[in-house]
Amino acid sequence: MPRKIIQRYMPDHETIRSHKYLRCFGTLLHKPSLWHLNRRSVATAFAVGLFFAFVPVPFQMVLAAGGAIIFNGNLPISVALVWLTNPLTMPPIFYVAYLLGAWLLDVPKGSFSFNNLSLEWLHSGLASAWQPFLLGCFVLGVMSAVIGYIGMRLAWRLMVLKRWRRRHKHPLSASSSVH
């Protein structure tokens, strides 16, 4: 079952509850539903975590934790998935988001040069790129959330069916491997 695979990599409840950025949620972190590993909570966590991974703001973990609390997803999985966008993956992912947004808005792609990095360049560069960039981030976030949710539900179901078939094919060996 996927639960055993996921539990192997899950951090301790107290580690998450005592995280300095997540303490702002206080007693909300004590809701038992945030720590359950079932098909719905894990799929919801994937949707929440993948959506907030594409939100270009600092403290994505706090947003993902809030989303997990609101939608009753698994909190550690939601928080961990925002690290899909980390300092190494952010530039290519956000560039793809910008390209997608520019394509959707049908605006010409800007050519950026980092040679004259200044406050004026930052202002003029962001003035022309923020709309396609944010739209691309939003679309990628929604698409990845939907794909993550459906994909996790399907993967969980397939694993359960596989285990069920194996148990019914070999009833004696399956009952002895439960422990």
Q: Which residues contact 5 (CB under 8 A, 6 or more apart)?
A: none
How do residues 140-155 score in pLDDT, each as one tens digit? 999 999 999 999 999 9
In a domain, 53, yes or no: yes
- Pick the more confident residue, 122 or 78: 78
Residue 20 lies in a domain: yes
Question: Looking at the domain assignment, is residue 114 inside a domain?
Answer: no
95-129: string of b/e by CB count within 10 Å (b at 16+)?
eebbebbbeeeeeeeeeeeeeeeeeeeeeeeeeeb
- Residue 86 domain flag: yes
Number of domains in the chain: 1
Segment 53-106, tens digit of pLDDT: 999 988 899 999 999 999 999 998 999 999 999 989 998 999 999 999 999 998
Q: What's the pTM value of the predicted model, to 2 decimals? A: 0.74
Q: Position 35: which residue type?
A: W
In a domain, 109, yes or no: no
As given in the structure block, the two tokens for residue 128 are 């022309």
